[in-house]
Amino acid sequence: MNANDFPVTLDALSALCKRRGFIFQSSEIYGGINGFWDYGPLGAELKRNIREAWWKAMVREREDVVGLDAAIIMHPRVWEASGHVGGFSDPMQSCRRCRKMFRADQVADQLRESAWLSSWTNAAASATQTDVKWDIEKAFRWLERKGSTEAPGLVARLAEAGGGRPTAEALKTLLESWNRSPETRPCPACGGELTPPRDFNLMFRTFIGALEDSSSQAYLRPETAQGIFANYLNVLDTGRVKVPFGIAQIGKAFRNEINPRNYTFRSREFEQMELEFFVRPGSDAEWHAYWVEERLKWYRSIGLPEGRLSRYVYAPNELAHYASACTDVMYRFPFGDQELEGIAARGDFDLRRHQEFSGKSMEYFDAEKNERYIPHVIEPSAGVDRIALAALCEAYREEWVPKEGGGEPKTAEPGRPPPAGYEPRTVLRLAPVLAPIKVAVFPLLKNRPELVEKSRAVYQPLRRRWSAFWDQTGAIGRRYRRQDEIGTPWCLTIDFQTLEDDTVTLRDRDTLRQERLPIAALGERIAAGLGEV
Ligand code: GAP
């Protein structure tokens, strides 16, 4: 459900995103590649708008934050110092039979969702000790009917759990033990045997230069943050900054995720927007609280409503050993409350480690207080792709709108036709600041050169300021619907009256209201709608 309580599904959203050019599966013409996504013409604009809104709030509008654009590939020692070479791993299990890989901590959840196991669970729930429905013969036949190649293995395990007899009770015992102990869980895909959990490093490896050996091995960065820590001294030396100050960076990060899922939510290539904000030791708690509030304010400013945002505050036993606090900003996606951003108080861990590994002092000299210290850091770290997905989920609506205009849209009731006089529309109610196209310009009729010419004259100055679109094809109602579906907040129509008095009709995407405005007032009206004045 979104704020309008319209139930959004990832299927409906991804269909729209593909149809209208927001998001495509990467390498689709070759069958796609799991965990990678391409952003089409409108998705590229949406992501650019998210980055720009973040950069404006975090860098341009502040005097205490500067920007950075570090290389993706860094010295491999960076990742030893950061702990990623030794510790950035997920415990993995692979199936000895079907070879699929699973994150050990997700096997229990995936088992619960697996179709074959739920049939067994239902059968077990309806069987009783006295009414034994499951004996070896029946279990075999049932499995054969299901086409399972796992019958012998599963029935043997059942028999083992039931002291030689695969009863309903034995089935329940087996299911419980699978839920309890990682060692005995079967493969969620086929029921086969899983290997014991093994650590799997999530960093993508590559080689620098012609030789492919350990001396030339490098990594694609799994986070942008380390580029900031590695440049901390360079930025200090430019002399523009004094603690407290921050360094912000936006860029690609790569993680060889075992189980990419939920559309673009967990991908193998994604984009981060990270700030490392360096503070005086002892002021960590105060600055952490400040950044949590700032970041929530920013999410509201891009159209994610209070009611769907929440914070997850880490308990002391959930924190990394060096961290004093961590709060995740969560958004209510159709697949549950999930993290958009983590805001961590990381102490001096990162700078101290780089000092140790590089031999360069990371101390800061505070001339006013005449003291030396390694600054502590507060790290708000957000993902562009997740924010784009949240914005799309929030914006997606199916509505009924009056055919002849002159009324408000109604939320569509799923599965029901619109009432008389209404027609359905799909609309993205994106915050104007995020909308890929801000304004569309239409001549009322395409076969009247004077209207076409006038509409081009209105369009040209607008497109120099904002992303604008000119469209003369099809009936005017269809042109509105196309823009609604991609989230364009305003449409302008040039008609015969325009030729006489230089006014146009401005139609609002959300209210459907139309107003007549002088061409000369358009720039100011759109700028106001975008919060630019
Ligand atoms: N430097 C801290 C850090 O990287 P993280 O919680 O691992 O922390 C920060 O990542 C943010 O990056 C997440 O909140 C999320 O928005 C985004 N992110 C992380 N892994 C991602 C993935 N596999 N796909 C998409 N976004 C991801």
Higher model confidence: residue 462 or residue 170? Answer: 462
Whether residue 244 is preceded by a cis peptide bond, meaning omega within 30 degrees of 0, is: yes
Q: Is the pLDDT of residue 447 over 80?
A: yes
What is the CA(203)–ligand 1 centre distance, in A? Answer: 13
What is the CA(266)–ligand 1 centre distance, in A? Answer: 9
**pLDDT band at 462; cut points 50, 70, 90:** very high
What pLDDT is stored for residue 411 in this prediction? Answer: 92
Q: Pocket of ligand 1, candidates 270, 274, 384: which has the most ligand atoms within 8 Å of its Cβ, to mutate?
A: 270
What pLDDT is stored for residue 114 in this prediction? Answer: 64
**DSSP letter assigned to residue 331:** E
Atom 15, ligand 1: residue with shortest CA distance: 383
Q: What atom of ligand 1 comes closest to residue 225's alpha carbon? A: 1
Rounded mean pLDDT, 72-99: 88
Describe the chain by its helix, strand, coil percentages, rounded to 5. 40, 25, 35
Q: Is the pLDDT of residue 136 over 50?
A: no
Q: Is the pLDDT of residue 501 over 90?
A: yes
Q: What atom of ligand 1 comes closest to residue 339's alpha carbon? A: 14
Written as one letter, the residue type at 287 is W
CB hemisphere CA count around 202 (13 angstroms): 24
Tokens 């015969």 identify what position?
496
What pLDDT is stored for residue 372 in this prediction? Answer: 97
Candidate ranges 102-106, 126-130, 165-169, 345-349; pick with highest mean pLDDT: 345-349
Pocket of ligand 1 (CB under 6 A): 223, 225, 255, 257, 266-267, 270, 272, 274, 339-342, 379, 381-383, 385-386
pLDDT tens track for 91-132: 888 888 788 888 888 887 776 666 555 565 555 555 544 444
What pLDDT is stored for residue 5 in this prediction? Answer: 63
pLDDT tens track for 467-487: 999 999 999 999 999 999 999
What pLDDT is stored for residue 196 in this prediction? Answer: 84
What pLDDT is stored for residue 131 in this prediction? Answer: 42
Long-range contacts of 322-325 (CB under 8 A, 24+ apart): 322/346, 322/347, 322/349, 323/347, 323/349, 324/284, 324/285, 324/288, 325/284, 325/285, 325/288
Please give the C-alpha separations between residue 84 and each of 89, 204, 495, in angstroms, as whole numbers: 8, 11, 62
What pLDDT is stored for residue 161 in this prediction? Answer: 64
- Using CA atoms of 228, 234, 235, 237 in order, give the dihedral in degrees to the nearest 10: 160
Tokens 């780089």 identify what position?
354
Q: Is the pLDDT of residue 364 over 80?
A: yes
Written as one letter, the residue type at 514 is Q
What pLDDT is stored for residue 100 in this prediction? Answer: 84
Q: Is the pLDDT of residue 308 over 50?
A: yes
Q: Pocket of ligand 1, candidates 37, 381, 384, 385: which has the most ligand atoms within 8 Å of its Cβ, to mutate?
A: 381
Q: Give percent of the chain above pLDDT 70.
A: 85
What pLDDT is stored for residue 103 in this prediction? Answer: 85
Written as one letter, the residue type at 269 is E
What is the CA(382)–ligand 1 centre distance, in A? Answer: 6
- Dihedral over Cα of 441, 444, 445, 449: its sign: negative
Give the SS3 label for residue 7: coil
For the chain, list the domains and their CATH numbers.
3-88+204-393 (3.30.930.10), 90-198 (no CATH), 403-529 (3.40.50.800)
Q: Is the pLDDT of residue 452 over 70?
A: yes
Q: Is the pLDDT of residue 506 over 90?
A: yes
What pLDDT is stored for residue 132 in this prediction? Answer: 42
Report d(CA 276, CA 26) in Å as an integer: 31
What pLDDT is stored for residue 213 in this prediction? Answer: 86
Give the SS3 label for residue 417: coil
**pLDDT band at 519; cut points 50, 70, 90:** very high
Q: Among 183-197, 284-298, 337-351, whose mean pLDDT is lowest?
A: 183-197
What is the CA(5)–ligand 1 centre distance, in A? Answer: 28
CB hemisphere CA count around 225 (13 angstroms): 27
Higher model confidence: residue 476 or residue 175? Answer: 476
Distance from the first to the final alpha carbon of the chain? 33
Give the SS3 label for residue 224: coil
Q: Pocket of ligand 1, candidates 264, 267, 309, 386: which has the most ligand atoms within 8 Å of its Cβ, to mutate?
A: 386
Strand partners of residue 198: 92
Report d(CA 33, CA 25) in Å as an integer: 7
* Pairing of β 37-39 and β 23-25: antiparallel
Please give the C-alpha separations between residue 180 and each of 93, 177, 380, in angstroms, as whole numbers: 16, 5, 36
Q: Pocket of ligand 1, candidates 272, 329, 330: which has the most ligand atoms within 8 Å of its Cβ, to mutate?
A: 272
Q: Is the pLDDT of residue 40 over 70?
A: yes
